[in-house]
Amino acid sequence: MLRHGVSRWLSIAMGMLLCGVVATPASAQVTPGVRAGISGDPTQFYFGGHIETTPLVDRLHFRPNIEAGVGDDVTLVALNLEFVYRFPARQQWQPYVGAGPALNIVSNGESDTEGGFNILIGLEQRSGLFFEFKIGAAGGPDLKFAVGYVFH
């Protein structure tokens, strides 16, 4: 029963993310990406994906993502609605910062849904490789480290 509940929430979250891609106007292109990493409290391995819009204003992008974490006797699915600001890059690596609300679905024998908020900092290489640190406030993992790739 627990797996069915998590599977259902994961399906709903993926559907919401895909609706965001489909509902995006043709003039606003999106870029997909994948990620995997580790988190602390709960200590987990997590993986997921994101889409990123072209700049909404200046260098501010909308980057919703979904992450599924396993370990520490907990399954966590996070739907993160984050915005990132990309600093100008004169070199191979481009730094960025971001933040946004999260919906966390936690299962450890029982299913519970809680809100949260993430603050993040990252570096992305022009080829698409990126490294990212997230700090969770008010729900979700306290700290996350991810390595990912953006498909340009």
Q: What pLDDT sits at residue 2?
A: 44
At 126, the amino acid letter reads R
The answer to whether 132 and 120 have CB atoms below 8 angstroms apart is yes
Q: What pLDDT sits at residue 137?
A: 87
Q: Is 71's pLDDT higher than 60? A: yes
Q: Is 111's pLDDT higher than 80? A: yes
Residue 21's pLDDT band (boundaries 50, 70, 90)? very low
Q: Is 100's pLDDT higher than 90? A: yes
Q: Is 18's pLDDT higher than 70? A: no
42 cis-preceded (ω within 30 degrees of 0):
yes
pTM above 0.85, yes or no: no
The residues with which 80 forms a beta bridge, in sequence order, are: 65, 102
Q: Is 11's pLDDT higher than 50? A: yes
Q: Which residues of 98-113 are buried (b: 16+ CB within 10 A; e: fewer)?
A: bbbebbbbbbeeebee
20 versus 117: which is more confidently predicted? 117
Domains and CATH numbers, the chain: 2-150 (2.40.160.20)
The answer to whether 104 and 114 have CB atoms below 8 angstroms apart is yes
Q: What pLDDT sits at residue 65?
A: 98
